Amino acid sequence: MHKDKDAALVKSCQLGDRRAMSQLVSKYERPVFNAAYRILGNMDDAADATQTVFLKVFEHIADYDQKFKFFSWVYRIAINESLNQVKKRRSQKSLDDSQASPWQGPAEKFDTAELCKKVQGALMLLSEDYRTVVVLKHMSGCSYQQISEILQIPEKTVKSRLYSARQMMKKTLLHDDAGFEGARGE
């Protein structure tokens, strides 16, 4: 159903239907932006990457092969674009400002903001290969198989990277700040 709806919208886009394009943008803007943010660690860079992702998607929409899942294709472009930006930014500026949390709100939001910041900080300590699988698994909710399709790597590699990444993140998320773990009621 999910796939059929995407397929129908893509077909309409291929015929020049802007309403269909708008629906696809609405559906995938948030997940693409979030994946980009988690990889890049910066709101502005994530917004730039998201714009570029959709430009690329619709630039090639006429050539899109319906036998592939649309969401896997979009995610693959999103991940590649985000990783490209990481490489570009690495030479342009430090990632110091990337640790800033996008959460600014009242005191009751503190736990959420702290969690967001803590998780993002831990993610940014991982190499891009590890960060990408964690983002796809935990932030985008993809299965091993979907991650394998998106990144075009064997499922075995997905599992291995996930395990290693979470082992590395244990130190940051569970041991650096015992109070944080307690605050989450664990």
| Positions in the binding site for another protein (CB under 8 A) | 13-18, 21-22, 25-26, 29-30, 33-34, 37, 43, 46-48, 50-52, 54-56, 58-59, 61-62, 102-103, 112, 115-116, 118-120, 134, 137-139, 143-144, 159, 162-163, 166-167, 169-170, 173-174, 181, 184, 186
Closest to another protein by CB, 7 or 116: 116
Q: Tell me the DSSP string of the chain.
A: -HHHHHHHHHHHHHTT-HHHHHHHHHHHHHHHHHHHHHHH--HHHHHHHHHHHHHHHHHSGGG--TTS-HHHHHHHHHHHHHHHHHHHHHHHS-SGGGG--S----GGGHHHHHHHHHHHHHHHTS-HHHHHHHIIIIIS---HHHHHHHHTS-HHHHHHHHHHHHHHHHIIIIIS-HHHHHHTT-
* Cβ 68 to another protein shortest distance, Å: 19
* Cβ 173 to another protein shortest distance, Å: 5
Closest to another protein by CB, 24 or 72: 24
